[in-house]
Structure 1
């Protein structure tokens, strides 16, 4: 009830101190009357009152633009963790497979790793409550908590009849924004790939470490992968762009409602990578800070951009605190690239904006348009369905745990990047042996999965890519799994062609 009273008082004060009634002021009176009516007539609790107050604030903010929003205590904590690049938890990567919370991998050095939680384990209970049918994001929140607090898990492991019970103490878990970095294995030159999935307070520090590792091999070019990078810390995006630009070059401009908010960010220091050949990968999942980096380096002629048009999120949010753990993120300005391009896409028709609908000929309406438009690898219905159900992961995990007849004839030499089937060496980049593909289909049939028909066979070149990635990941780590199928990524292949000097259109 307190939440509703405070919000109603705040809105009414705006009405009474206004010079003359306006649509806003009249709306405030209507809200206050509705709040009073609910207070007198609705059956509710203190918790309901708080929820209603938050809902009213969310409704007002959503009417402004798509990116102004309320930070309630839960979302405020998530934002804080994302910005700091860390949280407190147990250190597992999880995937919800057919309502089963499955461990993809324990992170090395974390409580889950030390206590012996394994890839393929199914977490069936968290603190005595079933995980079945609970949304994955809610389960993630349950695994996180204050530093030093305890969480109790019940885990089902294949081959064991009874669940295993773990008691784990939460510790600081880093959120790495640089997901992967490796030498591109199919390139004729010494080219590196660095994948940046977000911008936190430690992004540039992680990027510098990745470049130090790659530069030891006399790097001749770099692919900076910003696909699915939704943005984050502006200062880190500016610092990353600075790594590739000469001192004094403009990176991004901000223009707000008030002139006092206008600001320009320029490269401030010299770096060893200012002349390194560079290609940036983007897609519609690239937004905000990642668009600032791509737009700056494209406008300054410093990088070639490959992929698909970016999201077009160029609004600046400023945080205004209502309480210590409740705030409003209000749009106060816009971002512009060095050439003056508006990054923000038109959101006059909100549904079209949210669905990423594009009319023909509106290439100048926000977002970063690539120099080379290249589509991503497209999966067929069988491949997409099997991936969504976690079947590639399940097979690879069974193969690794030597639970399949083929396991006795199969091994992996990670340092040499080779499979061995009956002692026959097969490079990671070679097509997956047909026998393994057939064994996978037999595995699916044993699980009751329909695999008959010509469509599954037509999709073999697609699903064997996913199968190979999961197998290599299980034996050699996720980074090696990505590298093993990197030659099947059309956008990365185009980037390599450009860096090797083959600039076909």
Structure 2
């Protein structure tokens, strides 16, 4: 019976595609579906072990789509909620991030104002059971799925807290969790405003406009605005269009999409009158700013409506649409490319050409030159290049190790257990005594690492061995190796400022949540400082926007 059903389902799939095809490739489609159906039947009939048809088919689908690009994906019914979250920023749950640490599942960050935080859960709390069942051996993804559920439903957690002696059961009523796309806004200088936008989900542009309007009412002398799109992965195209419409008049083309099919070719224009056409703008981007973020930044750059500061953006210029399939599943398919006002496409990777199975970056020689409204040169096929490039600070290897080994997270948990309150985020910083406590905390705990010098040294030794130079220079090389070998105590002193700031940031988040992190980081933000400098200088601002 099972085999008959599989044959029938494959036949229906086969017939469905044939009846909707009307091109010269009909025969090729028919032939390959016939081969696939025969292969599937023979596998099911003869394979040594019992097969799981659903899992096998999903593997086949996933691998087929992976060969096209990373954005064309199959979405089974079980992942539909994830799709909804990506577009709306909403899901049913308790409102907390979780992480795995030494086979334990811990609360890493409760969202302010949501059920987890309101129920008293804190970063560092360990989840032992959910609804009376142990979660031992489960992954973060599995636990996350269990914690999610319909709003108003109840979930019971057994918690082991570092802040309390006994384990406790906590009953939490799930709610509709709406991620705050604008975790912070405020004035970073007497006349310069700042808005952090995390994603382009439904209604995010309306919220942005309201936030901007409120900032102006509270600060009537505001002359410049910083829009922080760093690490913003994008989202809904129409939200990007509506956001830039706040700063330009209606009827202006923001982006065009072009694809193989006629209905993929669309032009998106601003629909409303500008809210503020004069305020000076600075948009912050980095390598994780993608899609709708790049459309917004690219539009502002192409129209010379503001300056772009930071690092080159990700370079995602592909359009995806979601199409429904049977059994409540869907498929997200790349249907075209984005083109911003100058005419350039920002896509940086050519998925149609692959070397050794890997897609390649568009070469510099293939990039075309375009012009902004004022005639400034810009280029396609490589994301958005900022008008002012600022290299990000890279973390030391010891700092990376301390983060990955969770020593900073766990020390912060200890710190919080001993301090009921701390200063505000813009005033807080751990003391020298606190840092010495951290060094004492590290005694007996593992956090080994290799410095960049040590890694380069290993490469040098390997190269010298290949070139047969190593035997004649062994002593010199080994002496140099010893000199560049890391010393933990020395590195803890050398990178004290960096590590102290990371610890302080983590501690701030325990009292002031995500908003506190942002406020704390603004104190030493190079991109924000540069934006303030230029926005406060109309002559320099205009020079950047008019220099060809």
TM-score, length-scaled by structure 2: 0.79
The answer to whether the Cα contact below 8 Å between 2:122 and 2:510 also exists between their aligned partners in 1 is no
Structure 2 CA distance for partners of 1:201 and 1:324, relative to 1, 3 Å: farther
The answer to whether the Cα contact below 8 Å between 1:377 and 1:490 also exists between their aligned partners in 2 is no
Whole-angstrom CA distance in 2 between matches of 1:20 and 1:355: 25
The aligned residue for residue 103 of structure 1 is 107
Are 1:438 and 2:436 an aligned pair? yes
Are 1:93 and 2:86 an aligned pair? no
Whole-angstrom CA distance in 1 between matches of 2:380 and 2:145: 40
Q: What are the ranges of 5 or more consecutive residues in structure 2 without an aligned counterpart?
A: 368-378, 449-486
Whole-angstrom CA distance in 2 between matches of 1:152 and 1:448: 35
Whole-angstrom CA distance in 1 between matches of 2:388 and 2:58: 44
Structure 2 CA distance for partners of 1:344 and 1:352, relative to 1, 3 Å: farther
Whole-angstrom CA distance in 2 between matches of 1:20 and 1:285: 39
Question: Within 5 A, what are the aligned runs for 1:222-241?
Answer: 222-241=225-244
Whole-angstrom CA distance in 2 between matches of 1:297 and 1:117: 42
The aligned residue for residue 288 of structure 1 is 291
User: Which of the numbers 82, 85, 88 marks the counterpart of 1:78?
Assistant: 82
Whole-angstrom CA distance in 2 between matches of 1:256 and 1:172: 36
Aligned length: 483
Offset at 1:182?
Answer: 2.8
Whole-angstrom CA distance in 2 between matches of 1:197 and 1:268: 24
The aligned residue for residue 310 of structure 2 is 307
Offset at 1:5?
Answer: 4.3
TM-score, length-scaled by structure 1: 0.85
| Aligned residues: CA RMSD | 3.1
Q: What are the ranges of 5 or more consecutive residues in structure 1 without an aligned counterpart?
A: 419-426
The aligned residue for residue 37 of structure 1 is 42
Structure 2 CA distance for partners of 1:314 and 1:326, relative to 1, 3 Å: same
The aligned residue for residue 534 of structure 2 is 498
Are 1:364 and 2:380 an aligned pair? yes
Q: Which moved more, 1:231-240 or 1:19-28?
A: 19-28
Offset at 1:44?
Answer: 6.7
The aligned residue for residue 452 of structure 1 is 488
Q: Which has the larger radius of gyration?
A: 2
Structure 2 CA distance for partners of 1:319 and 1:90, relative to 1, 3 Å: same
The aligned residue for residue 217 of structure 1 is 219
Question: Within 5 A, what are the aligned runs for 1:41-440?
Answer: 41-42=46-47, 48-132=52-136, 134-184=138-188, 187=189, 189-215=190-216, 216-218=218-220, 219-323=222-326, 325-345=328-348, 346-349=350-353, 364-402=380-418, 407=419, 412-414=422-424, 427-428=427-428, 432-440=430-438
The answer to whether the Cα contact below 8 Å between 2:354 and 2:360 also exists between their aligned partners in 1 is no
Q: Which has the higher helix share?
A: 2
The aligned residue for residue 459 of structure 2 is none
The C-alpha deviation readout for 1:391-427, integer Å capped at 9, x for no partner, is 333333322322xxxx59xx6343xx67xxxxxxxx4
The answer to whether the Cα contact below 8 Å between 2:309 and 2:388 also exists between their aligned partners in 1 is yes
Give the SS at the match of 1:485.
helix
